Amino acid sequence: MNSTENKVILFVNGDLPAPERIRSEIASVDFLIAVDGGLRHLTRLGLTPNLIIGDLDSAQPGDVERFRTMGVEVRKYPEDKDQTDLELALQAALERYPQSIWVVAALGKRLDQTLGNIFLLTHPNLTDTDIRLVDGQEEVFLIRRAAEIHGTIGDQVSLLPLHGPASGIHTLGLQYPLVGETLYPHLTRGISNRMTHATASVTVESGLLLCIHSLSEESERTKLC
């Protein structure tokens, strides 16, 4: 069995509006995976991936070969496949038995890819893993039972139910509290709440909640939480 990694960080080929904020949060012990064209973010940040994975149709061949000669593992898949590069990369990340997974730059650009990346959070193999989509300005993660949100007063928090209603929702530290309430996919009740404390908490009795935490200008002057 592989040793447990503290954090595995995957770089995807989406938008990365605050790269230096992400860079400041990466520790030397973190395992870095370049997901095809996401390799460009690593090279711009001066980082060396531990693994490059995908069909490599959007990564720069010269960069791939340079890292290969440095001893970086490269897993190349055919373009005609049933999974996206990110799905394959998540499978590889789980081989490390991580405590948490960050998927960086998985938002923006193509809507179909963005939605697919968000829906990947519901994969059964990720149930016991703290996995978040982050870009330095937003973090997106699932709440299955309970979660804390760490940020700054004024940060925007939206709670969206997935796969049907989510019920028995209780929140603390948000401007518009929910007390044992139900959120429905066809209604917008959970959108655009605000943090009133540096830490907010959410619990849900049944269903899945997608949490979208958008950093305020004050938060953007500090480290990503």
pLDDT digits (tens, 9 = 90+) for 148-186: 999 999 999 999 999 999 999 999 999 999 999 999 999
Contact yes or no for 222/154 (Cβ under 8 A): no
| CATH superfamily for domain 7-136 | Thiamin pyrophosphokinase, catalytic domain (3.40.50.10240)
pLDDT of 223 over the 50 cut: no
For the entire predicted model, the pTM comes to 0.90
CATH 3.40.50.10240 domain locations along the chain: 7-136, 143-220
CA 105 vs CA 49, 66, 114, 220: distances in Å = 15, 23, 10, 16
| pLDDT score recorded for residue 93 | 97
pLDDT tier for residue 216 given thresholds of 50, 70 and 90: confident
pLDDT of 222 over the 70 cut: no
| pLDDT score recorded for residue 218 | 59
The mean pLDDT of 8-21, rounded to a whole number, is: 94
| pLDDT score recorded for residue 1 | 32
pLDDT of 110 over the 90 cut: no
pLDDT of 2 over the 60 cut: no
pLDDT of 3 over the 80 cut: no
Question: Which sign, positive or negative, has the C-alpha torsion 42, 48, 49, 55?
Answer: positive
| pLDDT score recorded for residue 72 | 98
* CATH of the domain spanning 143-220, picked from 3.30.930.10, 3.90.79.10, 3.30.470.20, 3.40.50.10240: 3.40.50.10240
Average pLDDT over the chain reads: 92
| Lowest pLDDT segment from 2-6, 71-75, 122-126, 137-141 | 2-6
| Structure tokens given for 141 | 């993660």
pLDDT of 190 over the 50 cut: yes
| pLDDT score recorded for residue 87 | 96
Contact yes or no for 202/209 (Cβ under 8 A): yes
pLDDT of 217 over the 80 cut: no
Give the three-class secondary structure for 20: helix
Give the three-class secondary structure for 200: strand
